[in-house]
């Protein structure tokens, strides 16, 4: 059995609980398309050279971002709290992968040239500790990138269900539990998945969490316009809308010396 065959077998085993989900195939394909992570790598390259840079992926999943970083010549290091995802990442990446509890990182202060976190914050319970650790291991003068779903965007990013991010989390969980057994299996599976998302983060919350660093980009207006099929003719007019209502938060920051 080749290396790719082993990875596919392990991936199918990891995704088996979702086998009956209507979005199973799209989820599976997302694990087989590391090129999609080039989008975030491109944003980093606007501010930092990646060749031979030491880059942390804090919540690396199965290693897709690390593969994209390796292709740019970076020396990646991944951290993951899920043992099976950690094993998947080790199967396909050259980068070092660490299985941790997701709290204190096993690295010294000011260790990385770049720190990245792609759609991890919504899974984190202690946001302050997570951001503190991300910034602690970043070298002064270096760049970090965070992307996470926006609480004020009306469609939940993982399930495509409406309104849920805006509703208080406890109420969302109560509604979900009341619906179990009374709705389609596919919809019930989506609602059960929301139980593993402790945080929907607003612009104000994320800005407060990152108050100790210099913000270089926060929900770029041109991205917001492109998502909605609008032109750049009124970019300044839409700046406030981009900050508040972008589908996801994209923040690039610099740790000052």
User: What pLDDT, in 10s, does the model give residues 137-164?
Assistant: 999 999 999 999 898 888 776 666 676 6
SS3 255: coil
Q: Is residue 169, in this structure, part of any structural domain at all?
A: no
- The one-character DSSP state at 201 is B
Per the structure, the count of domains in the chain is: 1
Q: What percent of the chain has pLDDT over 70?
A: 82
Smallest CA-to-CA distance from 61 within 39, 76, 51, 45 is with 76
Q: Is residue 28, in this structure, part of any structural domain at all?
A: no
pTM equals 0.87
Expressed as residue numbers, the domain containing 120 is 33-149+200-219+247-254
pLDDT tier, 26 (very low <50, low <70, confident <90, very high otherwise): confident
Q: How far, in Å, CA of 67 to CA of 65, rounded?
A: 5
CATH number of the domain at 106, please.
3.40.50.150
Q: Indicate the pairing of strand 138-149 with strand 248-254.
A: antiparallel
Q: Is residue 128, in this structure, part of any structural domain at all?
A: yes
Q: Is residue 240, in this structure, part of any structural domain at all?
A: no
Q: Is residue 140, in this structure, part of any structural domain at all?
A: yes
Q: Is residue 138, in this structure, part of any structural domain at all?
A: yes
């Amino acid at each position: 059995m080749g290396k790719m065959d082993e990875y596919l077998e392990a991936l199918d085993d990891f995704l088996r609980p979702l086998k009956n989900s209507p979005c199973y195939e799209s989820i599976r394909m997302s694990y087989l398309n590391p090129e999609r992570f080039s989008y975030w790598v491109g944003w980093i390259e606007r501010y930092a050279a990646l060749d031979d840079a030491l880059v942390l992926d804090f919540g690396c999943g199965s290693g897709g971002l690390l593969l994209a970083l390796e292709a740019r010549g970076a020396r990646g290091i991944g951290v993951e709290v899920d043992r099976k995802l950690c094993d998947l990442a080790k199967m396909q990446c050259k980068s070092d992968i660490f299985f941790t509890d997701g709290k204190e990182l096993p690295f010294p202060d000011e260790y990385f040239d770049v720190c990245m976190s792609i759609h991890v914050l919504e899974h984190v319970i202690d946001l302050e500790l997570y951001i503190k650790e991300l910034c602690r291991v970043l070298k002064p003068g270096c760049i970090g990138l965070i992307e996470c779903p926006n609480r004020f965007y009306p469609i939940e990013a993982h399930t495509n269900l409406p309104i849920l991010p805006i509703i208080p989390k406890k109420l969302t969980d109560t509604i979900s539990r009341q619906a179990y057994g009374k709705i389609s299996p596919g919809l019930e599976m989506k609602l059960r998945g929301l139980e593993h998302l402790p945080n929907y983060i607003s612009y104000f919350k994320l800005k407060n969490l990152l108050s100790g660093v210099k913000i270089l980009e926060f929900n770029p207006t041109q991205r917001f316009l492109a998502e909605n099929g609008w032109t750049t003719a009124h970019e300044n007019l839409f700046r406030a809308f981009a900050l508040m209502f972008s589908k996801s938060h994209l923040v690039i920051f610099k740790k000052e010396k």
